[in-house]
Amino acid sequence: MSRPEISDDEFSKRRETAKRYAKEQGLDALLVWSRGGHTVETYGDLYYLTNFHSLFPCVPDRTTWASRGHGALILPVDGEPVLITDYVDDPENRIKVKDVRSVPDITVSTVDALKDMGLIDKKVGLVGRMSFLMSAYQRMQERAGNHKLDFIPADEILERMRIIKSPAEIALLRHSATVGIKWMNATMDAVVEGNTEGDAVGAGLHVLAANGGTQQDIAIASGPFAENYMGSSGIPHWNSRRPMEKGDLVHCDQWGPVDGYYTDSARSTVVGGKPTDGQRELLDGSVAIIHHIIGSIVPGRSTFGDLYRTGEKWLDDNGFANHKTTGAETNNFSAQFPCFGHAIGLGIDGPWITEDETTIIEENMTLAVEALVGKPGVGAANFEENILVTATGAEILTLECEAKRWA
């Protein structure tokens, strides 16, 4: 069975839409800057428009190169796009832009291209400010000479476009969720007495890689560390030394792209499958709160903030600490992550399910709804589902991933 793909026509329409939005804002072009290389965190905007991200690792600048591991798309509102990258190795002919320039110094070449295209003194919107480093701007300004580079923030253009998913994107997210289910099941199947967290992670990664995915990260914690979000504060974020013991509470959150589109889910259990009463309360509660939040969605009316308040009230009503609780009744992760999830697509996207987010939830949005619930002396349990917002509510894409692995 062939995997779903985004058509050339859809990529073209995306660029035309971006150009139209830029023109409506009085811009002459967009400069879409992306960080790729060894991470998968901030490639989304460039990938969304071109089907490309850099394969080169992000390394320090030298006199012969700069911004390795980054990529830039110049998208004039009137004219053809230019993709500037440090590295091209495209055996499958996947790149959807005709004018691709592979150069050692992206900063210099981007300025030169802006000059050649008559855009150096025009209004250029910058998309990808999270990826745009001060070192890049300084080198570009030096190359521009007497021309002042004054990029105008324009991230909201791509955020606006990416939040509602097309049918092809929904197919890809269904596929990534299917792979994510296999990935999580393989990880949790290896949560057995005598295995380390690293053994469980390795079992899952074998399945993920074989099905076209790569991890961004995996947060797993067990036993005496189960009150924490991660079992190790070093690198990697799992413990590969301590064997898990019967009765250990274990929770795992794992996320990353499959064929470009993300899967992001969390599950919890007890080694041996027989929890104590306290552990059972956490395990059952972690599942109940997420399905309660999902069940409250009213497309076209509910906001992301509404979902947050629904989750907060559930915690209060059921005797769990909420994100605002201080002291021994809560854990650092809950206090530092006052949120019940986020949008999902080509990354861990916004908006986030936070108290102050007013964005209305609409049909064909895709979300990851999550919570880590805990109690002192017992530990914490984590649960997360990926959902597609429908006309009447929500479809849980990860529903087939076993939720309760305990008796």
**CATH code of 245's domain:** 3.90.230.10
3-state secondary structure of 141: helix
Same domain, residue pair 254 and 376? yes
Same domain, residue pair 128 and 249? no
Answer yes or no: is 228 within a domain: yes
Answer yes or no: is 233 within a domain: yes
Give the integer Cα–Cα distance in Å for 356 and 189: 38
Give the integer Cα–Cα distance in Å for 287 and 401: 12
**Tens-digit pLDDT profile for residues 1-51:** 567 899 999 999 999 999 999 999 999 999 999 998 766 778 899 999 999
CA atoms in the 13 A half-sphere facing the CB of 327:
3
Give the integer Cα–Cα distance in Å for 55 and 73: 16
CB 361 within 8 A of CB 389: yes
**Tens-digit pLDDT profile for residues 178-198:** 999 999 999 999 999 999 999
**Tens-digit pLDDT profile for residues 61-105:** 998 899 999 999 999 999 999 999 988 877 778 899 999 999 999
Last residue of a domain, one of 140, 162, 184: 162
Same domain, residue pair 157 and 186? no
Quote the domain boundaries for residue 94.
8-162
pLDDT of residue 100: 95
* DSSP code of residue 105: B
pLDDT of residue 331: 58
Answer yes or no: is 1 within a domain: no
Q: 108: closest CA among 64, 164, 166?
A: 64
Other residues' Cβ atoms within 10 Å of the Cβ of residue 64: 7
Same domain, residue pair 137 and 184? no
Last residue of a domain, one of 105, 138, 162: 162
Last residue of a domain, one of 134, 162, 190: 162
Contacts of 23 (CB under 8 A, 6+ apart): 77
Answer yes or no: is 2 within a domain: no
Same domain, residue pair 98 and 134? yes
Same domain, residue pair 286 and 386? yes
Residue 150's CATH number: 3.40.350.10
pLDDT of residue 99: 96
Mean pLDDT of the chain: 93
Same domain, residue pair 145 and 264? no
Answer yes or no: is 46 within a domain: yes
pLDDT of residue 38: 67
pLDDT of residue 326: 56
Answer yes or no: is 67 within a domain: yes
Same domain, residue pair 190 and 286? yes
Answer yes or no: is 252 within a domain: yes
CB 125 within 8 A of CB 151: yes
Q: What does residue 72 show for φ and ψ, rounded to 5 degrees? A: -135, 135
Answer yes or no: is 403 within a domain: no
Same domain, residue pair 173 and 306? yes
Q: How many domains does one find in the chain? A: 2
Same domain, residue pair 147 and 192? no
pLDDT of residue 329: 53
Same domain, residue pair 157 and 220? no
How far is residue 94 from each of residues 18, 69, 72, 97, 239, measured CA to CA in Å? 20, 18, 17, 9, 38
Pick out the chain residues at pLDDT < 50: 328
Same domain, residue pair 151 and 205? no
CA atoms in the 13 A half-sphere facing the CB of 285:
24
